């Protein structure tokens, strides 16, 4: 009692308010206050150690030897570009002093700059040169020729017409993506702050895009609370995205910078979280995120240099973006403009899957390995588009494949456009090679399904023959086309998927052991109902029929695999009824059970594909919050499980995610989306202006 008494009298009532100790407010990272500042428990540290052990065993870290070799290659590349600029300076008649001072710098960005690259990953590099060395001739012609003459350089591929012009090659076995930026200086200083906005003075748009890769990477590292925890969480989630088939910017999913920005925002919302906590919170936050509300690490800066920044109020095109993830460096852009309605749906499904596994991990019902189970794309749909890319040799195929792959997203958008969104596409980013073909070959696949919830009339068809022809016509506009470069687009059923796409060269059994993701999906199926799980995955529980009925049932006819060579005259007609047109012969039949196919077969009903599936729409994902008492972390009140993190109890005290979000009569959003995921957010203009443009999303509660 005496000790308590002395403690109570330690703060004398005679002290003035100014003399009393003031509580320290946590540092704010990003636009809003954090959701939770709770630190890790011993259980969280144990989970983090297990996660890091899994990442090491999965060989996601490069060896010291490979790291040293990368540094050596970068050093040699720096010497090459300096000599290149000095030669050009001398060639153009500048003074001896100018030749001596002539300089070019190499910067890195992407996964290498962020410290999350793995074995065999490429190095994203930027060469910064003086104003008199241009991209079109000096970089893509003279430097290209210099590199082509070097023994160490292989697979040299210039891509001058890309959104960000790039030269790809391997230097002594290390993959390099090299960009070029000519800044408005006659002499590039040895020490250059590329984050300073002054480097953008008097440069063109492609140069701005080239510079922004480095500028964005630097800003990300400055805006996260703990770089080490950020890097571990990002490495983990990039690996997860690749395993689940959603890592590819060019295909319409998310690339490295997109995933980095998403993870960085979660780090800001949970500044004291460690990697295992960050991974779990990542899925909880983005499962409930209401797109197209943007993800931003900082306020959008509008400098007076005249470059366009992402602003749906001024730019009509920005209003059409489905999943805005805004870069933090001026000029702020949407890094995920490639995302379509279909690819957003696929990613949201995968976020749901990741969230369920992380919940099981926290309840000690699953291991981290369950999170990284591969996505069985070829067991997820009944119907696919197969895009075969053919060239005379490997070098031609490399260039031709790069062009076609960069345009595959357009095929997805065209199909969505021409079918009014009723036919959904799931492009799969992995390429497959048929080594038995005499020519150089690779193939990409797209899963097809009718939009869940759509009412289809009998005989209704979606005719995409014209869509496919339009796509092929745009592909054949390739300015570097050579004889032998061909593309074939064909429709195949699940049973007709070629064997070379499977790792062991053969298909899995019809009734494989259910994975953890399928086990959780199966529980939601009713007897006799088909349910959609993931992106086209489905399970079907049937009531057992009497044995007599089963014995009297006629045998199904045997499947006949089609020939793998696809005639160039082939086009596809796909929809609720799908037809395969081969020359002037048209075959059509009624779709039966999975596996009942024939050569040249035609699918005529996608209606049974989704059956009585519930509509998993994209307009509102807030419904996934039900049952978690409105907290972001979805913690279970009163849980006695020793594996539950104590930080969840802190999160549960945050304001309800779904309360008080309303649109006032003038269309201004009040206490809305920002407070749902970030309950302490201010009501400043920077936080709410985009929501005024999407009132429908806010009303769907």
End-to-end CA separation in angstroms for the chain = 54
SS3 537: strand
> Cβ(673)–Cβ(656) under 8 Å?
no
- For 394, the token pair is 């490997």
Q: Which of 304, 291, 293 is nearest to 331 (CA)?
A: 304
- For 201, the token pair is 């003075």
Residue 124 falls in the annotated catalytic set: yes
Choice among 48-52, 294-298, 354-358, 416-420 with the minimum mean pLDDT? 416-420
Choice among 121-130, 134-143, 415-424 with the minimum mean pLDDT? 415-424
Which of 44, 138, 177, 633 does the annotation list as catalytic?
177
> pLDDT of 359-393, one tens digit each?
999 999 999 999 999 999 999 999 999 999 999 99
Phi-psi region of 538 (alpha: psi -120 to 50; beta: other; left: phi over 0): beta
Tell whether the model's pLDDT for residue 614 goes beyond 80. no
Residue 463 falls in the annotated catalytic set: no
Which of 36, 86, 124, 645 does the annotation list as catalytic?
124
- Tell if the pTM clears 0.85, that is, is over it: no
> pLDDT of 86-120, one tens digit each?
999 999 999 999 999 999 999 999 999 999 999 99
Residue 96 falls in the annotated catalytic set: no
677 pLDDT band (50/70/90 cuts)? very low
> pLDDT of 489-518, one tens digit each?
999 999 999 999 987 655 555 444 444 444
H helices of 270-419, in order, are 275-288, 316-319, 341-362, 368-371, 394-418
Strands 123-129, 174-182: parallel, antiparallel or unpaired by DSSP? parallel
The enclosing H or E element of 174 equals strand 174-182
Using CB atoms within 10 Å of the CB of residue 324, give its burial: 0 to 12 exposed, 13 to 18 middle, 19+ buried: buried
Q: Which residue's entry shows tokens 């960069």?
A: 406
Residues 6+ away with beta carbon under 8 Å from 257: 110, 213, 216, 217, 327, 335
Residue 86 falls in the annotated catalytic set: no
Which of 33, 44, 111, 182 does the annotation list as catalytic?
111
Phi-psi region of 569 (alpha: psi -120 to 50; beta: other; left: phi over 0): alpha
Which of 122, 172, 395, 596 does the annotation list as catalytic?
122
Q: Which of 264, 262, 284, 249 is nearest to 354 (CA)?
A: 284
DSSP letter, residue 326: B
Strands 530-533, 486-493: parallel, antiparallel or unpaired by DSSP? unpaired
Which of 180, 247, 330, 428 does the annotation list as catalytic?
247
> Cβ(109)–Cβ(126) under 8 Å?
yes
Beta-carbon count within 10 A of 17 CB: 6
- For residues 99 and 80, give the distance between their C-alpha atoms in angstroms, rounded to a whole number: 15
Residue 177 falls in the annotated catalytic set: yes
Beta-carbon count within 10 A of 276 CB: 28
Residue 353 falls in the annotated catalytic set: no
């Amino acid at each position: 009692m005496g000790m308590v008494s002395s403690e109570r009298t330690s703060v004398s009532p005679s002290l003035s308010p100014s003399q009393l100790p003031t509580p320290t407010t946590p540092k704010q990272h990003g636009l809003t206050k954090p959701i939770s500042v709770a630190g890790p428990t011993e259980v969280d540290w144990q989970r983090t150690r297990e996660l890091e052990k899994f990442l090491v065993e999965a060989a996601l870290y490069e060896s010291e030897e490979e790291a040293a070799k990368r540094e050596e290659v970068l050093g040699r590349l720096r010497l090459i570009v300096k000599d290149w600029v000095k030669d050009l300076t001398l060639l153009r008649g500048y003074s001896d002093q100018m030749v001596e001072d002539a300089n070019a710098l190499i910067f890195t960005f992407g996964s290498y700059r962020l410290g999350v690259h793995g074995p065999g990953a490429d190095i994203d590099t930027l060469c910064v040169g003086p104003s008199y060395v241009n991209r079109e001739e000096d970089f893509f012609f003279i430097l290209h020729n210099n590199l082509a003459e070097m023994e160490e350089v292989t697979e040299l591929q210039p891509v001058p017409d890309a959104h960000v012009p790039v030269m790809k090659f391997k230097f002594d076995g290390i993959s390099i993506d090299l960009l070029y930026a000519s800044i408005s200086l006659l002499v590039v200083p040895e020490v250059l702050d590329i984050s300073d906005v002054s480097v953008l003075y008097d440069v063109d748009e492609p140069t701005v895009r080239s510079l922004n890769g480095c500028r964005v990477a630097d800003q990300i590292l400055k805006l996260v609370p703990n770089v080490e925890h950020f890097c571990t969480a990002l490495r983990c989630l990039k690996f997860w995205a690749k395993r689940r088939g959603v890592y590819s910017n060019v295909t319409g999913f998310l690339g490295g910078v997109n995933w980095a920005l998403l993870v960085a925002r979660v780090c800001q919302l949970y500044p004291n979280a460690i990697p295992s906590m960050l991974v779990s919170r990542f899925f909880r936050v983005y499962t409930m995120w209401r797109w197209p509300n943007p993800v931003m690490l900082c306020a959008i800066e509008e400098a007076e240099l005249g470059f366009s920044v992402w602003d749906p109020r001024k730019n009509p095109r920005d209003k059409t973006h489905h999943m805005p993830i805004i870069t933090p460096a001026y000029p702020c852009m949407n890094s995920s403009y490639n995302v379509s309605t279909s690819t957003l749906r696929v990613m949201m499904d995968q976020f749901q899957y990741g969230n369920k596994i992380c919940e099981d991990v926290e309840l000690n019902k699953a291991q981290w390995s369950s999170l990284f189970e591969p996505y069985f794309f070829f067991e997820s749909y009944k119907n696919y588009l197969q895009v075969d890319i053919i060239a005379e040799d490997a070098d031609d195929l490399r260039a031709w494949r790069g062009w076609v792959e960069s345009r595959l997203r357009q095929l997805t958008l065209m199909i969505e456009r021409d079918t009014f969104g009723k036919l959904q596409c799931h492009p799969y980013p992995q390429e497959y090679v048929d080594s038995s073909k005499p020519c150089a070959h690779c193939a990409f696949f797209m899963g097809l399904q009718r939009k869940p919830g759509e009412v289809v009339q009998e005989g209704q068809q979606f005719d995409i023959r014209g869509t496919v022809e339009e796509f092929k016509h745009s592909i054949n506009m390739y300015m570097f086309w050579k004889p032998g470069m061909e593309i074939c687009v064909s429709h195949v059923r699940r049973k007709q998927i070629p064997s070379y796409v499977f790792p062991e060269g053969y298909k899995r059994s019809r009734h494989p052991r259910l994975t953890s993701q399928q086990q959780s999906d199966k529980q939601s199926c009713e007897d006799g109902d088909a349910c959609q799980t993931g992106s086209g995955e489905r399970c079907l529980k049937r009531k057992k029929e009497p044995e007599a009925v089963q014995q009297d049932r006629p045998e199904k006819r045997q499947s006949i695999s089609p020939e793998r060579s696809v005639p160039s005259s082939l086009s596809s007609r796909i929809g609720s009824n799908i037809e395969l047109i081969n020359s002037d012969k048209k075959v059509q039949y009624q779709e039966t059970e999975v596996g009942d196919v024939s050569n040249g077969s035609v699918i005529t009903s996608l209606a049974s594909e989704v059956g009585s599936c519930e509509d998993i729409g994209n307009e509102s994902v807030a419904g996934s919050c039900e049952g978690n008492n409105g907290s972001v972390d979805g913690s279970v009140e009163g849980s006695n499980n020793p594996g539950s993190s104590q930080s969840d109890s802190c999160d549960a005290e945050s304001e309800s995610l779904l309360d008080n979000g309303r649109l006032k009569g003038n269309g201004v959003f009040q206490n809305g989306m920002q407070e749902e995921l970030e309950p302490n957010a201010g009501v400043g203009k920077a936080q709410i202006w985009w929501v005024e443009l999407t009132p429908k999303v806010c009303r769907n509660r």
